[in-house]
Amino acid sequence: MSDLIHENPTLLLMMEHLGIDFIVQEKTVAQICSDNKVGQEVFLVLGNLYNGFNPTGKENYSVSDAITLIQFLKNSHTYYKQEKYPEINNFIMQLYKKNNSDEIKMIETFFKDYFKEVTEHLDYEEEIAFPYFCNLVQQDHENSITSQKRYSAKEYREHHTDIETKLADLRNLLLKHISVKNDRIIRRKLLFGLFELELDLEIHSIIEEIVLIPLIEKIETNKKNG
The 3-state secondary structure of the chain reads CHHHHHHCCCHHHHHHHHCCCCCCCCCCHHHHHHHHCCCHHHHHHHHHHHCCCCCCCCCCCCHHHHHHHHHHHHHHHHHHHHHHHHHHHHHHHHHHHHHCCHHHHHHHHHHHHHHHHHHHHHHHHHHHHHHHHHHHHCCCHHHHHHHHHHCCHHHHHHHCCCCCHHHHHHHHHHHHHCCCCCCHHHHHHHHHHHHHHHHHHHHHHHHHHHHHHHHHHHHHHHHHCC
User: Do 143 and 205 share a domain, yes or no?
Assistant: yes
| CA separation for the pair 41, 106 (Å, rounded) | 44
Task: Tell me the pTM.
Answer: 0.89
Please report whether residue 6 resides in a domain.
yes
Domain contains 59: no
Same domain for 34 and 109? Answer: no
With respect to residue 93, please indicate whether it lies within any of the assigned structural domains: yes
Same domain? 11 vs 75: no
Number of domains in the chain: 2
User: Is the Cβ–Cβ distance between 96 and 174 less than 8 Å?
Assistant: no
Q: Does residue 158 carry a pLDDT above 90?
A: no
Looking at the structure, do residues 124 and 184 belong to the same domain, yes or no?
A: yes
Whole-angstrom distance, CA of residue 87 vs CA of residue 14: 19
Same domain as 204, residue 111: yes
When the pLDDT of each residue in the chain is averaged and rounded to a whole number, the result is 87
Distance between CA 94 and CA 206 in Å, rounded?
A: 33
Let me know whether 110 and 23 are in one domain. no
pLDDT at position 78, please?
97
Domain of 144 in residue numbering reads as 66-224
Structure confidence at residue 140 (pLDDT):
42
| Pair 44, 104 in one domain | no
Mean pLDDT, residues 65-90: 96
Assigned domain for 178 exists: yes
Give me the pLDDT at residue 142, please. Answer: 45
73 in the same domain as 177: yes
Is 191 part of any domain? Answer: yes
Predicted confidence at residue 195, as pLDDT, reads 92
Residue 125 counted as domain residue: yes
Would you state the pLDDT for residue 139?
65
Q: Are residues 15 and 120 in the same domain?
A: no
Whether 145 is covered by a domain: the verdict is: yes
Region 108-137: what's the mean pLDDT?
Answer: 91
CA pair distance 94, 56, nearest whole angstrom: 43
Separation between Cα atoms, residue 153 and residue 217, nearest integer Å: 6
Q: Are residues 36 and 87 in the same domain?
A: no
In a domain, 58, yes or no: no
What per-residue confidence (pLDDT) applies to 187? 87
Please indicate, yes or no, whether residues 35 and 77 belong to a single structural domain of this protein: no
Pick from 220, 197, 201: which is nearest to 209 by CA? 201
Are 180 and 211 contained in the same domain?
A: yes
